[in-house]
Amino acid sequence: MPIRPQPIAVPATPPQNDTYSQAVRLGDVVYLSGQLGARPDGTMPEAFRDQVKQALDNVATVLKAAGSSLELVAKVNIYVTDFSRLREMNEVYRDYFPHRPAKTTVEIVRLDKGAMIEVEVVAAAG
């Protein structure tokens, strides 16, 4: 029998629309959809650093619900609206990923809800 994707929904994270899952577990791999720096109530911190921290906290929450953790992350994709803030982002990022997973950071024009950062990851299941 083929392995089937198992959608993961996490009520403790900011609201989403019904076109995607917050994460999908496929066998021993967890794929997370992009997480904005929005708080669980849907509000967005004003400061960039606070959005980075909240986005990474959201990633950790979804990973836990999917049976994984930050320590098992192998790949990180980050989208920012201002690449000149890369150093500031990395100062926060370093505390979450001391094991240095593979990472791509891309500047884009705009993110949903006026966010300044979005983070998606691929991780091993625990």
| Per-domain boundaries in the chain | 6-124
pLDDT of 116 higher than 80: yes
- pLDDT-derived band at 63 (thresholds 50, 70, 90) equals very high
Residue 82 tokens, joined = 């201002």
Q: What is the pLDDT of residue 31?
A: 98
For residues 58 and 36, what is the distance between their CA atoms, to the nearest angstrom?
A: 8
**110: CB partners within 8 A, 6+ apart:** 81
- Residues 86-102, mean pLDDT to the nearest whole number: 97
Looking at the domain that runs over 6-124, which CATH code has it been given? 3.30.1330.40
Helix (H/G/I), strand (E/B), else coil: 113: helix
Do 26 and 6 touch, CB atoms closer than 8 A? yes
Which among 98, 28, 17 is positioned nearest to 67, based on CA atoms?
A: 28
User: What does the pLDDT read at residue 12?
Assistant: 79
Helix (H) or strand (E) holding 89: helix 86-96
pLDDT value of residue 4: 94
pTM comes to 0.95
Is residue 93 within 8 A of residue 120, CB to CB? The reply is: no
Chain-centre distance of CA 107, in angstroms? 16
Residue 14 has pLDDT above 80, yes or no: no
